[in-house]
Structures are given as structure tokens and as C-alpha cells.
Amino acid sequence: MKLEKINGEHCSHRRSHHPEHVKKDLITRLNRIEGQIRGVKGMIERDEYCDDVITQIAATQSALNSVAKILLEGHIKGCVVSRLRDGDEEILDELIVTIQKLMRK
């Protein structure tokens, strides 16, 4: 695995470096999703109506998809472009697999 120096430290090529405002947004979204999951669990524990639980699960899945879209955009604009500039075309195969994983849903 190729190592590069970032801020004077050797780092794996497989690390992401999101701007702080993006990380903060992602963490906020994930905290909200975590709360939604706890809410769904509580609904099941309280034997709430199945359709209401399913509606909340769909909302949670949509929120997770939004996080994935943000990450994918950053990955393409950052990691993929950088590695292509470095002549690493293997990143394209990795990207295709990643998109296929997202499309399985």
C-alpha cells in the first residue's frame, strides 16, 4: 500500500480527509440517524402499529442514503480525482464496486 506524507506524517492512501464542516455535518446526520434507530427499537418494544414502524424505517434508510451520497460525492471529487491524477486507474474499478454496493438497496 502506498504511503504519503500529510502534515509530516505517513498516512495510508486509504484515508479520507474531509473538511471539518463536512465531518461535522456527517456526524450530526449520523447522530440523528442513531436517534431514529433507537426510536424504531422503542416502537417495536411498545408494539406500535407495523405501518408506523415501517414508515420510520424508510425515513431512516433515506437519511442513511443521504449520508452515503455526501460521502460518495466527496470520494469522487477528492480521492478518485487525486488517484487518477497520480495515474492510479485501479480506483475506477473500486468506484464501480462501491456504486454497485449502493445500488443493491
Q: What percent of the chain has pLDDT over 90?
A: 80
Residues 6+ apart with CB under 8 A from 32: 63
pLDDT value, residue 71: 96
Q: What is the pLDDT of residues 66-90, one digit of tens each?
A: 999 999 999 999 999 999 999 999 9
Assigned superfamily of 21-103: Metal-sensitive repressor, helix protomer (1.20.58.1000)
The rounded average pLDDT for each run of 10 residues, N- to C-terminus, in the chain (105 residues) is 41 72 96 98 98 98 96 94 95 96 86
Residue ranges of the domains in the chain? 21-103
Can you tell me the distance from the alpha carbon of 87 to that of 31, in angstroms, rounded to the nearest whole number?
A: 37
Model pTM score: 0.79
